[in-house]
Amino acid sequence: MVVFRGGWFVGLVLLVFGVVPAVGGVGIDVSQRGVVRVYTVAQEPDYLVPWAPGRTGEGWGSGFIIAGHRILTNAHVVANARFITIEKEGDARRYEAKVLFAAHDCDLAMLAVLDETFFEGTNALTLGPVPALDSTVTVLGYPIGGDRLSVTRGVVSRIDYRVYAHSGVDAHLVVQIDAAINPGNSGGPVIQDGAVVGMAFQGFSGMVAQNVGYIIPTPVVERFLNDVADGRYDRYVDLGIQFFPLINATHRRALGLAPGDYGVVVGEVLRAGAAYGHLETGDVLLTIDDHPIFSDGRVAMDNDRLLLNEVVERKFKGDTVRLTILRGGREMVVTYPLTTPWPYLMQARQYDVRPRFVLFGGVLFQPLSQGFFNALSDKSVLLRYYYSQFLMEELYMDHPEVVVISRVLPDPTTSYLEPFVNGIVSRVNDRPVRILDDLAEAFARPAEFYVVELLGDHPPLVFEAAAVRDAQPRIRRQYGVTRDAYLRDSMVPSEWMEEMKNEK
């Protein structure tokens, strides 16, 4: 489920921690022989100096073994990892590992250990059902405060939807427990009746709430395993709409609904979402895949009332959804294939990618993203608008990538250009710039002058081609710039890129 706004997980913290090397132990039971300790060295990109490799740091997390000599952990434990080792209880050695798949939208990752002898004496854990409310669970892992395996117990206190702090915008099913979960527990299994019923991954800081921790339940884990079974991860799909409850009796009568506890109204249909062309604003959703929809947006599933999004959460790219709707007083059935509404990635934290950029004549151009936006100390009103409203105002239709002048490197050729920082590029030599690749192509075309037009009331920038050719090597040498551009790792899907090329 995509949350079409970011930042409402105040106080949520991820449970990974940096500590000293572990020491082995003995006397552990069957479940504990499937728990591992994950050590990583990660490299964080620098969005202010995008050509630089970024700073490195190390940390610890937990994980567990499943069938096929695979290890599951949280994506945030191994995000941006450059080196990973795995340890098991009772063995002081570290075994090198690699990431097979990382799903940053649901904070899950699968690892492989390079030395198969690691699995000698270990047990593969099996997945169980979602634990019931008021039932007891056991949390295993390697939290702060020691090098040995930690075991804590708690009670399931809530089953709900919540934003996953790793991406900051994706919301999925979570199970809330009151067991002690601390930094380092990330990726560790939560056990009930000998089976894994979840994975520890985030909690509230002590200043916000006490004894509140969250685990990723098995439906989310199983969906991840099914998704990667074909050798790649395709991300979550979404209905592509916003909907609102229909509890108000007057509103229900105005829509032609009888009294009762059923139906929600469509508030917005995203043009980049799967529902565009199939649903309309004002449609009333009555059922989803034959599940009656209650007026609060929930459906009866798994002996519980869950948000209707859970029906879609268990589907995959290309699967269809079947909705019974009420439109203009007439009941009808709508079926459409599901996709991922990619523009929401503007506000999502990105991992395992490098910052995109173009450096031309000492002026640095970058596409707007969560990492870039948060790295800026000063942000113009226009830049804030394009960042916050990129999805809801459908700004992506004209600018799938918002290309920004992020920095001006001091040089004789860049005198007086500092006021243009934060400007959003509109055109270069009368050619529209919709993505960063357009800008790179425009600068690659032979010309005597390059006129860069910006959105708003800014005057254009004018580059003299000969002066740029002379200045570029000097600027690269002075500022340690290793390359003029990096154009990979775009958040814009290839089909949108191809469509834009066809429009030219």
Say if residue 132 is in the same domain as residue 64: yes
Measured CA to CA, the distance from residue 313 to residue 308 in angstroms comes to: 9
How many structural domains comprise the chain? 3
Cβ-Cβ contacts under 8 Å for 404 (sequence gap 6 or more): 365, 366, 367, 368, 372, 383, 422, 423, 424, 425
Catalytic residue among 31, 150, 167, 186: 186
- Domain region containing 308: 241-337
Any domain includes 347:
no
Concatenated DSSP letters of 133-178: TT-EEEEEE--TT-SS-EEEEEEEEEEEEEE-TTTSSBEEEEEEE-
Measured CA to CA, the distance from residue 409 to residue 415 in angstroms comes to: 9
Backbone angles phi, psi at 417, to 5 degrees: -95, -10
Catalytic residue among 31, 62, 104, 107: 107
- pLDDT tens, residue by residue, 44-78: 999 999 999 999 999 999 999 999 999 999 999 99
Catalytic residue among 31, 62, 76, 172: 76
CATH number of the structural domain spanning residue 271:
2.30.42.10
> What's this model's pTM, rounded to 2 decimal places?
0.90
Q: Are 81 and 104 in contact (CB under 8 A)?
A: no
- Please confirm, yes or no, whether 278 is among the known catalytic residues: no
Residue with tokens 């405060």: 145
- pLDDT tens, residue by residue, 216-257: 999 999 999 999 999 999 999 999 999 999 998 899 999 889
Say if residue 409 is in the same domain as residue 306: no
Say if residue 162 is in the same domain as residue 17: yes
- Please confirm, yes or no, whether 186 is among the known catalytic residues: yes
Measured CA to CA, the distance from residue 293 to residue 312 in angstroms comes to: 13
Any domain includes 346:
no
Domain boundary among 305, 337, 369: 337
- Please confirm, yes or no, whether 369 is among the known catalytic residues: no
Cβ-Cβ contacts under 8 Å for 171 (sequence gap 6 or more): 1, 2, 3, 161, 162, 163, 164
Q: Are 355 and 371 in contact (CB under 8 A)?
A: yes
Say if residue 171 is in the same domain as residue 277: no
Any domain includes 189:
yes
pLDDT in tens, the chain (504 residues): 554 333 333 345 566 544 333 323 333 466 788 999 999 999 999 999 999 999 999 999 999 999 999 999 999 999 999 999 999 988 889 999 999 999 999 999 999 999 999 999 999 999 999 999 999 999 999 998 567 899 999 999 999 899 999 999 999 999 999 987 888 899 999 999 999 999 999 887 665 666 789 999 999 999 999 999 999 999 999 999 999 999 988 999 998 898 889 999 999 999 999 999 999 999 999 999 999 999 999 999 888 889 999 999 999 999 999 999 999 989 999 999 999 999 999 999 999 999 999 999 999 999 999 999 999 999 999 999 999 999 999 999 999 999 999 999 999 989 889 999 999 999 999 999 999 999 999 999 999 999 999 999 889 999 999 999 999 999 999 999 999 999 999 999 887 777 656 655
